[in-house]
Chain A
């Protein structure tokens, strides 16, 4: 089972910041939080990941709460091309034989013109 909980869908106006929440209350100390997105009928695309600190790259920002039980992905200026399903996942192990990556159902983000 996925270790994360996300709202099934969200709307955001074009040009505004899109804030996508994720709960991962059972996250372990050595588990990273990853975000991916999937545009219809394509393979998922990596967006960003973090462990404890907030992270920012050219696509998005990731805010992780101090207790690490939740996080928020921020798309600062959403465009129509950001319409996709966004997945928040936690990586369950440290690269050993049992390392596997489990996806939940994600959040379907609709960017409204």
Chain B
């Protein structure tokens, strides 16, 4: 089945540790996105990438880093510089707007808790 996978579903870390969240898609989508969601809030864009080896900062990129070495993968690293890392992290992918099917597909999310 085609789709987006995020792992793990729940992740616990100690403060001061870097942690990498996985996002893989087999939809052959060029674009991939990372969002953060806090309780009762909407989604805020962290980073996005339209093509392999290229990515852009979103609205809240500070304390995060990404890589896009393969089309299928867009891992997000939450660094120790991120002041409030505890949140629900969502990965999404889409085709470019000019193509027929250009809605975003979302993964199931990773809930990160840092103590």
The answer, yes or no, to whether B92 is at the interface (CB within 8 Å) is yes
CB pair B42–A97 under 8 Å, yes or no, is no
Which chain B residues border A103 with CB–CB below 8 Å? Answer: 35, 42-45
Given A32-B97, A42-B109, also A97-B54 (CB < 8 A): yes
The answer, yes or no, to whether B31 is at the interface (CB within 8 Å) is yes
Given A95-B98, A97-B56, A103-B35, also A2-B107 (CB < 8 A): no
What is the count of residue pairs linking A and B with beta-carbon distances less than 8 angstroms?
Answer: 73
A contact residues, total (Cβ < 8 Å) = 28
> Which chain B residues have a beta carbon within 8 Å of chain A's beta carbons?
4, 31, 33, 35, 41-45, 48, 50-51, 54, 56, 58-59, 88, 90, 92, 94, 96-99, 102-109, 111
CB pair B105–A100 under 8 Å, yes or no, is no
* Chain B residue at smallest Cβ distance from A45: B106
In the bound assembly, the distance between CA atoms of A99 and B96 in angstroms comes to 8
13 more contacts with CB within 8 A, not counting A91-B102, A94-B98, are: A36-B104, A43-B107, A43-B108, A43-B109, A85-B42, A87-B43, A91-B97, A94-B97, A99-B31, A99-B48, A101-B48, A103-B43, A103-B45
> Which chain A residues have a beta carbon within 8 Å of chain B's beta carbons?
2, 32, 34, 36, 41-46, 49, 85, 87, 91, 93-106
* Chain A residue at smallest Cβ distance from B58: A100
* Chain B residue at smallest Cβ distance from A94: B97
Can you pick out 5 interface pairs between chain A and chain B where the beta carbons lie within 8 Å of each other? Answer: A43-B107, A96-B50, A97-B51, A99-B50, A102-B59
